[in-house]
Amino acid sequence: MTTADFIHRFQPAETRDAAALLLLHGTGGDENDLLPIGPMIAPGAALLSPRGKVLEGGMPRFFRRLAEGVFDHADVERRTEELADFTAAMRAQHDLPLPVAVGFSNGANIAAALLHLRPEVLGGAILFRAMVPLPYPPRADLSGKRVLIVSGAMDPIIPAENAAALADSLRSAGADVRHEILPTGHGLTRTDIDIAREWMQA
Ligand code: MLT
């Protein structure tokens, strides 16, 4: 596995002890999408932003789905392993601290899969509009990992009970989970960013 394996953008940290963020875009996005919000969430952080390798009608994603909300679980597992290897290789190459994933929608779902399958590559995760990526994830030890899930009460794509089930499964694996539900839909809002920045600083 080489680091060239994902098209990506990398921005080094501005200060020596700054955090690192792994930015994971939503369906139809790319490596440029979340770069502007990285500094809003963690000023000065190193930013690693890969592009999902799956194309759905020309739209990049991080794993295949059979229909909206119906995932190809074998592909989720395979793509999660690839992304984990890429993240670990980039971390070694650039001498980064354990990154905090910041994922939106499909990007949040693969970040959740990383927590279940390859928890050693992440320090924590911010999951905007996430849902359960795998019905029966292997038992992971997430103790010491902080996870922020921000859901939308009017999200037409993600049922509230599905986001709650994700929070429960991460909690039962030992993660320190905060789950916020905003009075909004699927799109990101200013409040999402404010909550994430405050959570990063805590
Ligand atoms: C997914 O496919 O990961 C979720 O349904 C969210 C989306 O990307 O639309």
Distance 14 CA to ligand 1 centre (A): 32
Instruction: Kindly report the pTM of this predicted structure.
Output: 0.97
* Closest to 21 (Cα-Cα) out of 125, 120, 149, 129: 125
Q: How far apart are CA 132 and CA 151, in angstroms?
A: 13
Provide residues with CB under 6 Å of ligand 1. 26-27, 65, 68-69, 105-106, 109, 157
Question: Per DSSP, which regions of the chain are E strands?
Answer: 8-11, 20-24, 46-50, 54-56, 59-61, 65-67, 70-71, 100-104, 124-128, 146-152, 176-182
Report phi then psi at 86, rounded to 5. -60, -45
- Residues 53-80 have pLDDT tens digits of 999 999 999 999 999 999 999 999 999 9
pLDDT for 116-174, tens place per residue?
Answer: 999 999 999 999 999 999 999 999 999 999 999 999 999 999 999 999 999 999 999 99
Residue 94 annotated in active site: no
Q: Which of 24, 27, 34, 79 is the pocket-test mutation for ligand 1 (most atoms within 8 Å of CB)?
A: 27
What one-character DSSP code corresponds to residue 52? P
Cα 3 to Cα 5: distance, rounded to the nearest angstrom: 5
- Of 5, 72, 94, 186, which one is the catalytic site residue? 186
Question: What domains does the chain contain, in order, with CATH numbers?
Answer: 3-201 (3.40.50.1820)
Q: Which atom of ligand 1 is nearest to the CA of 133?
A: 3
Alpha-carbon span 34 to 48, nearest angstrom? 10
Cα(148)–Cα(194) distance, integer angstroms: 12
Q: How confident is the model at residue 20 (pLDDT cuts 50, 70, 90)?
A: very high
